[in-house]
Amino acid sequence: MSEPLVAVEGLRRVYRSGPKEVVALREVSFQAGRGELVAIRGRSGSGKTTLLNLVGGLDRPDAGRVTVTGREVTSLAEDGLLSLRRDVIGFVFQSFGLIPVLSAAENVGVPMRLARTPVAEREERVRMLLALVGLADHANQRPYELSGGQRQRVAIARSLANRPRLLIADEPTGQLDSQTGRQIMQLIRALVRSEGVTALVATHDPGLITLADRVLELRDGVLRPADAPAPA
């Protein structure tokens, strides 16, 4: 097998507040291949967010190693992490994380501004991305003028702005009703195919798990392969 896009080895994360210690991840290891959609399931508090934050370079582990496209995330300095998060990884969060005063198009353009993409190219790609997520006709609306599902579509378009190799989505359907959630998950499924990105998606929604290529389960910080999902 060629080198995996994501390799996680012996990851451990302990939160300390005063004398109390919470072991959020215990020696977690897994790999994800190019173009693979991996679901990480587990109930609230099982360590999903902690794991995704470590893979995305938003946090540092107490032990273990994360490699993304051959770069060792866990040993990068701050500038290396910045470029990793800007150029290599796209993030999607439960709460969308859009900038309220910007239009849908402007929100999608933000990562390209940060990457100093030339204006004409940026505008063209924003149009393409909004069309890709089905929002071509909503480019000028602000987040409060959009439904929850539409907001998450904007966030997904934004996450793809700089052509990431890896999409990290932390409970992307957590604030959506189940039907809208399913549409968002189907969109992610389709984009993983069409854009060739690898995706790690945390969810505790059993209905969404069936769309994944592979399912991993976290229980109290311990990761194991989940049983094969039942067909929908």
173 part of the interface to Mg ion, by CB under 5 A: no
45 binds, among Mg ion, ligand ADP, none (CB under 5 to 8 A by kind): ligand ADP
User: How would you class 97 by CB atoms within 10 Å of its CB: exposed for 0-12, middle for 13-18, buried for 19 or more?
Assistant: middle
46 binds, among ligand ADP, Mg ion, none (CB under 5 to 8 A by kind): ligand ADP
Helices and strands: H and E segment counts in the chain:
7, 10
Rounded CA-CA distance 27/31 in Å is 14
DSSP state of 38: E
| Residue 24-63 contact track with ligand ADP, rule CB under 6 A, x = bound | x-----------------x-xxxxxxx-------------
Taking the least distance from each CB to ligand ADP, the nearer of 44 and 194 is 44
203 part of the interface to ligand ADP, by CB under 6 A: no
50 binds, among Mg ion, ligand ADP, none (CB under 5 to 8 A by kind): ligand ADP
Work out which of 4, 40, 42, 49 binds Mg ion, going by CB under 5 A. Answer: 49
Rounded CA-CA distance 200/103 in Å is 27
Both tokens of 199, joined, read 């995706």
Minimum gap (Å) between residue 30 Cβ and ligand ADP: 15
- Taking phi over 0 as left and psi of -120 to 50 as alpha, with beta for the rest, 204 belongs to alpha
Taking the least distance from each CB to Mg ion, the nearer of 49 and 69 is 49
Rounded CA-CA distance 213/232 in Å is 14
200 part of the interface to ligand ADP, by CB under 6 A: no
Rounded CA-CA distance 52/192 in Å is 18
Taking the least distance from each CB to ligand ADP, the nearer of 22 and 190 is 22
Residue 44: phi and psi, rounded to 5, are -55, 135
Query: Is the dihedral angle over the CA atoms 174, 13, 25, 156 positive or is it negative?
Result: positive
Minimum gap (Å) between residue 131 Cβ and ligand ADP: 32
- For Mg ion, which stretch binds (CB under 5 A), given 47-55, 98-106, 136-144, 151-159? 47-55
Binding site for Mg ion (CB under 5 A): 48-49
Residues that bind ligand ADP (CB under 6 A): 15, 17, 22, 24, 42, 44-50
